[in-house]
Structure 1
Amino acid sequence: MTLNSGPLCSFGIIADVQYGDIDERYNFHKTRLRNYRKSLVLLERAIRSWTSEGVDSVLQLGDIIDGLNKVHNASRNALSSVTDVIKLFPGPVYHTWGNHELYNFTQEELRGSDLFSGNMPQCACPEGKSYYSFNLHRKLKVVVLNCYEISMLGLPKHSEEYKQAENLILQNNPNESLNNPDGLQGTNRRFVKLNGLVSDSQLKWLKETLQKATNDEENVIIMGHVPICEHSAESMFLCLNHTEIMEAISTYSSCVICYFAGHFHEGGSYVDSSGILHVTFAGTIESQEMDAYATAYLYSDHLAIRGKGSYSSYETKLKFPYDRI
């Protein structure tokens, strides 16, 4: 019997805020309304709720500002607006980057911005890289991927990373617009410019981090903007090398409990054959409700994710339970 049945720690989760001081409009397929100004209100409501509850930290899953800000020369103003709201939260906020950040800024610029969390003292980040890890509790590690380390977004066109992504997409997508998946079948729909992939060196780092977590009996959450499980999101929104990432985390399924992503605004979830819960969180930008976030609670034997408004709720067992006797 434990001395205390309450949560060991708690953290907020939010994805695809995509703020901009822009009039509302429908998405590309004219199926979902995006309210760019309201999304900042929803972010602030989430921050104030987490602060009031005493939540320990926040995971921000990318696309916190919208790409249209670049068209309106408002990228820095938009970033300043969301940063001002985030600073209302008294604890740490951990960010990953999505395609919309990279429509506005280069990856080098983002490394020098408030949206780079790898330089926090509690984070372990390889020098010069933008992926990192940290512990929310001695029994819970979070591993943050850069799903656009190799991509056509936020990188110089002459760089090897840009060329590698471009060649891969061109080999698989014959459409004039490389953001158009028309005619592509199944998971090949992912070969669009709005996706990227992790490098071999990032995969190596991921495996080494998971091996150490296994040795230390730490439960692990992996987060990246882009989904990796084809059953948790529409195929168009999968990471370009999702199979390699899936293989890596399956090898270390004895420690990995969840993979968190955004990117696909309708959201979705799936428990894979290794028992890992994949959650694609709904896009706050398209929420028609007055709340759009989740709060997660780490207990001694499970993680409970409680959705608010347009966000769903989930639970999953820990691989390494915590004995507090």
Structure 2
Amino acid sequence: MDCNGNTELTKEKEVVCKMGIIADVQYADIEDRYNFRKTRLRFYRKALTLLQRAVSDWTAEEANCVLQLGDVIDGFNKEEKASESALRTVLEVLKAFPGPIYHTWGNHELYNFTQEELMSTPLFSGNMPQCTCPKGKSYYSFSIHRKLKVVVLNCYEISMLGLSEDSPAYKEAETIIKGNNPKENLNDPDGLRGMCRRFLKLNGAISGTQMDWLKEHLRDATNKRVNVIIMGHCPIFEHSANNMDLLLNCTDAMEVLTDFSDCVVCYLAGHDHEGGSSVDFSGILHITFPGTVESLETDSYATAYLYNDQLVIKGRGSYNSYKTTLRFPLQE
């Protein structure tokens, strides 16, 4: 009850849940280097310090969980023969957080490990008891609240990364990319125009099976009046990120979200280190969080606060802040 005896107002302002959010830590025990296009400097060792600060702050604030949006270690670890040691180092930092950490995979995890190998590491969260995950798959979902579900995508299920070259998923990705990108260097977008710039080896796609699984989750959430947050490494909305970083089949994914916009609150992604955001024409907030590895700030993360009628994301340092209204109030 507030000073005016208004209990409803107090209930509206209560924080129901807190979620840490971070993207593209890309830790490696190497000196600072520029990205592959030589446009942005990356601070590989500092990224670990920024992750430690984030974990410390989330722990002090008693966050309920953390959403890790992919690329937690950098691809340079592979050539340094440090993939496993870098992952151990990052996991040791994350272990200090007392709650669950929900991971999705980015291209840099797949430069270091195969997708099959990742399934047996802590970067696969789908085997946690609170998660619902199709057998043998790497995408999953979990509930934060009876009125809020988080759906975690594998944006590289169809990919030229982390899969054997003779696998159907690799061949499908190769057909998609080479059919739209005639360049010898399949990670170079120069010369490609508009949305065609996304047809790069560093991006992946969602399979038809995963798309159907997503539809079923959103259909069920709509019927039960449950809010949904979707997270994946690759952005899907062209106005929320550089088009060279979009999901290969982003137009198909956008069509699904639009069809079920009654329940989808927001889509959270990383991958584009500059970050960006936009609200699509169906009212869904798309946020691309910047790369922590390139942060010039002393902080580089966000914390999301769930209220009865809205989601408030407060950025620290290089991360911006956002607010969006829930599709369904938590108390109704």
Give the TM-score, by structure 1 length: 0.99
1:287 corresponds to which of 267, 292, 295: 295
SS in 1 for 2:132: coil
Cα distance between partner residues in 1 of 2:316 and 2:27: 19
The answer to whether 1:122 aligns with 2:130 is yes
SS in 1 for 2:238: coil
The answer to whether 1:206 aligns with 2:214 is yes
1:63 corresponds to which of 64, 71, 77: 71
The answer to whether 1:38 aligns with 2:46 is yes
SS in 2 for 1:248: helix
The answer to whether 1:258 aligns with 2:266 is yes
Q: Give the structure 2 partner of residue 14 of structure 1.
A: 22
Q: Give the structure 2 partner of residue 81 of structure 1.
A: 89
The answer to whether 1:137 aligns with 2:142 is no
Cα distance between partner residues in 1 of 2:166 and 2:37: 32
Q: Report deviation, 1:3.
A: 5.2
Q: Report deviation, 1:2.
A: 5.0
Cα distance between partner residues in 2 of 1:126 and 1:28: 36
Cα distance between partner residues in 2 of 1:261 and 1:112: 23
1:313 corresponds to which of 312, 316, 321: 321
SS in 2 for 1:213: helix
Q: Give the structure 1 partner of residue 3 of structure 2.
A: none
SS in 2 for 1:231: helix
Cα distance between partner residues in 2 of 1:234 and 1:2: 40
Cα distance between partner residues in 1 of 2:18 and 2:69: 16
Gaps of 5+ in 1: none
Q: Report deviation, 1:181.
A: 1.2
1:96 corresponds to which of 99, 104, 108: 104
SS in 2 for 1:143: strand
Cα distance between partner residues in 2 of 1:3 and 1:306: 21
The answer to whether 1:156 aligns with 2:164 is yes
Cα distance between partner residues in 2 of 1:13 and 1:314: 13
Q: Give the structure 1 partner of residue 4 of structure 2.
A: none
- Equivalent residue letter for 1:133: S
1:173 corresponds to which of 161, 170, 181: 181
Q: Report deviation, 1:32.
A: 1.5
Gaps of 5+ in 2: 1-7
SS in 1 for 2:49: helix
The answer to whether 1:299 aligns with 2:307 is yes
1:271 corresponds to which of 279, 303, 310: 279
Alignment check: 8 A CA contact 1:179 1:194 kept: yes
Alignment check: 8 A CA contact 1:11 1:297 kept: yes
2:238 corresponds to which of 202, 216, 230: 230
Deviations 1:148-185 (A, max 9, x none): 00000000100000000001111111111111111110
Alignment check: 8 A CA contact 1:289 1:309 kept: yes
Cα distance between partner residues in 1 of 2:177 and 2:190: 13
Give the TM-score, by structure 2 length: 0.96
Aligned residues, how many?
324
| Superposition RMSD in Å | 0.8
Cα distance between partner residues in 1 of 2:37 and 2:201: 17
Alignment check: 8 A CA contact 1:298 1:304 kept: yes
Cα distance between partner residues in 2 of 1:41 and 1:241: 35
- Equivalent residue letter for 1:222: I
Cα distance between partner residues in 1 of 2:179 and 2:270: 26
Q: Give the structure 1 partner of residue 5 of structure 2.
A: none
Percent of aligned pairs with the same amino acid: 65
Cα distance between partner residues in 2 of 1:181 and 1:32: 16
Alignment check: 8 A CA contact 1:266 1:282 kept: yes
Alignment check: 8 A CA contact 1:214 1:254 kept: yes
Alignment check: 8 A CA contact 1:265 1:283 kept: yes
- Equivalent residue letter for 1:290: T
More deviation, 117-126/27-36: 27-36
